[in-house]
Amino acid sequence: MPSNDVRILLQAAVPTAAVGAIAAVVSGVVAGGKGAVGALVATLVVILFMGVGLYVLQRTAKLLPHLFQAMGLMLYTAQILLLFIFVAAFKNTTLFNPKAFAISIVATTLAWIGAQARAQMKAKILYVEPESSKGDRPEKTGHSS
């Protein structure tokens, strides 16, 4: 991954993990150990889904730039639907507290989206990559200006 992509991934994943840790503590206090486990599982699911999505989106931008916007919209829609499916699938689980899981998924997803948007706005990414070839340089005319 290029350095910009890694930087954006870290700038989105770290705040998401922090929000997940806070959610785990709050869930642990409110719902006990199963609440903390639910919040931690939710945080891991969000970081995994969103991280893979960011990777796929960056690869699409490089390989098929004309599909970037459509792919981004489709990818975010698919991610949100998959997160809803996860919440529905674990609605009646006894492994962890489902309410803590669901609330933590929402909180960490919002944290990821906000952090990623901030990272993208702060990144100095060129929209058009300049080419450096010999034909780009102006020829010397012998006159000094």
Question: Rounded to two decimals, what is the model's pTM?
Answer: 0.76
Q: Confirm if 103 and 36 have CB atoms less than 8 A apart.
A: no
Q: What tokens does 66 get?
A: 């004309």
pLDDT of residue 9: 86
Q: How far, in Å, CA of 108 to CA of 106, rounded?
A: 6
Per-residue pLDDT of the chain (145 residues; tens, 9 = 90+): 566 778 888 889 999 999 999 999 999 999 989 999 999 999 999 999 999 988 888 888 788 888 878 888 888 899 889 888 988 888 888 888 889 999 999 999 999 999 988 988 887 766 666 666 655 555 555 555 5
What is the gyration radius of the CA atoms in the chain, in angstroms? 21
